Amino acid sequence: MREARELAQENTYEYDAHPLEDNIFEWHFTVRGPKDTDFEEGRYHGRIILPNEYPFKPPELIFLTPNGRFELNTKICLSITGFHPEFWQPAWGIRTVLLAVIGFFPTEARGAIGGLDYTKEERKRLAKKSIDWICPVCQVEMKDALSDTPPDTSTIKKEELPEFMMTYKPMEVKEKAESSKCVEEDKALVETVEADDTSAKIENRSENVTTEANVTTVPQLAVNQEIEITEQLDEHIRNVSVTGRTQPIWLDALIGGLVSLLIALVCRKYVV
C-alpha cells in the first residue's frame, strides 16, 4: 500500500502510523501533543479504521491512550471522520487525518461525540503519564514511537490542511457550526424535547379549559333540547287530537248523506 510505504519512510517528530500485519484496513497511529498546549508532553496512540470504500469514504478514529480530550475506545466525531462524510475528499489520506487530529487537540469538545473537557492539570498529568504507555495490540511503546529530536521547522504546514481543519471558530460562525454538527444535533434534540414538553403542557391546559367549557354548556344544551322536544311533542299531540275529532264528524256526514240518498231513491221508486 502506497500510503504505508510513504509513512514508513518518514521519520517525523509529530506523528507515525502503520497498518496491522493481519488487517490493512486497521491502522495504529501515534501523535505528539501540540506545542504550547496542555498536551505538549504527551504521546497519544489510537486506531484508524478504514472503510472498504476508502479513500472515497472517510475513516473512523479511536483513541487508546488516556488524554483528557477524546474518549477511549469510542469513535470520535470530527470533520475528518465517518460522522461527516460530506466534508471528506478522496485526495486526503492518513497523513491528513493525523495532522488534523493534532490540530483538534487544543479545541473545546463542546459536547461532541467522543469529546472530553478535562481540566488543564489533569490533561498535563495524563500527558506525562502517556510516555510510559504501551499498546497491547501492536506492542508499540510511546517512548520509542516518535523521534526525540525536534525539526528546525514543524512538519505541519498550514497549506497542507483544509481551512476548516486549521481554524476553530465560535459556534455562531457558519463554518464552525457545520463542523460541530454532532453538538448542534444534540442541542436541537434537547430543544425539541423541551418544546414538545411545553406544547404538551399548553395543550393539556387548553384541553382542561375546553372540558370545563363543555361541562358548562352540556346542561344548557340538554335543557334547550328538552324544551324543544317538549314543544314538538305538544304540537304532535294537538295535531293528533284535532285529527281524532275531525274524522268522526266527516264519517257522520257521509253516513247521513248516504241514508238520505237511499230514502230518496226508495221514495222515487214507489211514487213512480
Q: Is 14 exposed, middle or buried (0-12, 13-18, 19+ CB in 10 A)?
A: buried
Please check whether residue 201 lies inside any domain of the structure: no
Classify residue 248: in a domain, yes or no: no
Q: Which CATH number does the domain housing residue 77 bear?
A: 3.10.110.10
- As a whole number, the mean pLDDT across the chain is 76
pLDDT of residue 174 exceeding 50, the answer is no
Residue with cell 501540540: 34
- The tally of CA atoms less than 13 A away on the side-chain side of residue 221 is 6
**Does an H or E element contain 103, and which?**
helix 94-104
Domain interval for residue 130: 2-167
Identify whether 80 is part of a domain: yes
In-domain check, residue 67: yes
Q: Is 261 helix (H, G, I), strand (E, B) or coil?
A: helix
- Whether 188 is in a domain gets the answer no
Neighbours of 118 (CB within 10 A): 16
pLDDT of residue 8: 85
Query: Quick one: pLDDT at residue 228?
Result: 55
Mean pLDDT of 28-52: 97
Predicted local confidence at residue 37, as pLDDT: 97
From 52-61, 93-102, 150-159, the region with the lowest mean pLDDT: 150-159
Coil/strand/helix, residue 29? strand
In the predicted structure, residue 153 carries a pLDDT above the cut 80: no
Count CB neighbours of 194 within 10 A: 10
Which of the residues 77, 138, 182, 267 is marked catalytic? 77
**Cα–Cα distance, 60 to 115 (Å, whole number):** 14
Question: Positive or negative CA dihedral for 102, 176, 193, 85?
Answer: negative
Q: Is 69 helix (H, G, I), strand (E, B) or coil?
A: coil
65 found inside a domain: yes
Q: Tell whether pTM > 0.75.
A: no
How does pLDDT run across 200-255, given as a tens digit for each residue? 445 555 555 444 444 444 445 444 555 554 565 456 545 544 444 445 677 777 78
Please name every residue paired with 29 in a beta bridge, in sequence order, or none if there are none. Answer: 17, 46
Residue 11, helix vs strand vs coil = coil
CA distances from 33 to 75, 131, 135 (A): 19, 11, 17
Which cell numbers in the block locate residue 173?
460562525
Per the domain annotation, does 83 fall within a domain? yes
In whole angstroms, give the CA distance from residue 121 to residue 126.
9
The pLDDT value given to residue 227: 52
- Tell me the per-residue pLDDT of 74-128, one tens digit each, with 9 for 90 and over: 999 999 999 999 999 999 999 999 999 999 999 999 889 999 999 999 999 999 9
- Which span out of 28-32, 197-201, 202-206 was modeled with the highest average pLDDT? 28-32
Q: Which comes out higher in pLDDT, residue 65 or 179?
A: 65
135 carries an active-site annotation: no
| Structural domains of the chain, count | 1
Q: Please give the pLDDT value at position 224.
A: 53
Question: Domain for residue 156, yes or no?
Answer: yes
Q: Between 267 and 92, whose confidence is greater? A: 92
Whether the bond into 85 is cis, omega within 30 of 0: no
Residue 107: the pLDDT is 94
